[in-house]
Amino acid sequence: MAKKVFLDLGQTVTTSGVAELISQSPEYSDWVRDCLRRFTLCDWGDLEAEDKTLNDEAINKQGEDAERVVARYNYPGADIYIITEWDRSVTTILFPSEY
């Protein structure tokens, strides 16, 4: 059985635009919460296969070799990126237009 890998998120933050939509829509809030859960389980969402492979490699790098991890999840009219910084100190949830 394969060992499950969990990504350390550090502090989780959202941009003001995402936070506003979360506060206005319980359905969207639930969807974002589910995307974050998927992200912690190394499910990179709606990325191309090559980008998913880069994330899989990045989660095992540390120190000077560490890299950011970026995922995208598509929602009608309100897609999001979830980005964990290279040092795993902060994870940001943002709209593609805010990237």
pLDDT tens-digit map of 23-74:
999 999 999 999 999 999 999 999 999 999 999 999 888 777 889 999 999 9
Better-scored residue on pLDDT, 8 or 84: 84
Is residue 52 in a domain?
yes
Q: In this predicted structure, what is the pLDDT of residue 60?
A: 83
Supply the range of the domain harboring residue 75.
Answer: 11-98
Residue 1's pLDDT band (cuts 50, 70, 90): very low
Is there a domain that residue 3 lies in?
Answer: no
Report yes or no on 69 lying in a domain. yes
Q: Is residue 20 part of a domain?
A: yes
CA-to-CA dists, residue 26 to 2, 15, 30, angstroms: 35, 17, 6
CATH number of residue 63's parent domain? 3.30.2310
- Domain count for the chain, please give it: 1
**Beta strand 90-94 pairing with 11-14:** parallel
- Whether 18 is covered by a domain: the verdict is yes
- 94 within some domain: yes
What gap in Å lies between CA 9 and CA 1, rounded to an integer? Answer: 25
Q: Kindly tell me if the per-residue pLDDT of 3 is higher than 80.
A: no
Position 97 pLDDT exceeds 90: yes
Q: Which two tokens stand for residue 41?
A: 């389980």
Domain presence at residue 6: no
User: Quick check: 7 and 39 in contact, CB under 8 A?
Assistant: yes
* CA proximity to 12, closest of 44, 45, 46, 35: 35
Nearest to 59 by CA among 30, 88, 22: 88
The whole-model pTM stands at: 0.91
Average pLDDT over residues 14-30: 97
pLDDT at residue number 66: 84
CA 11 centroid distance within chain: 12
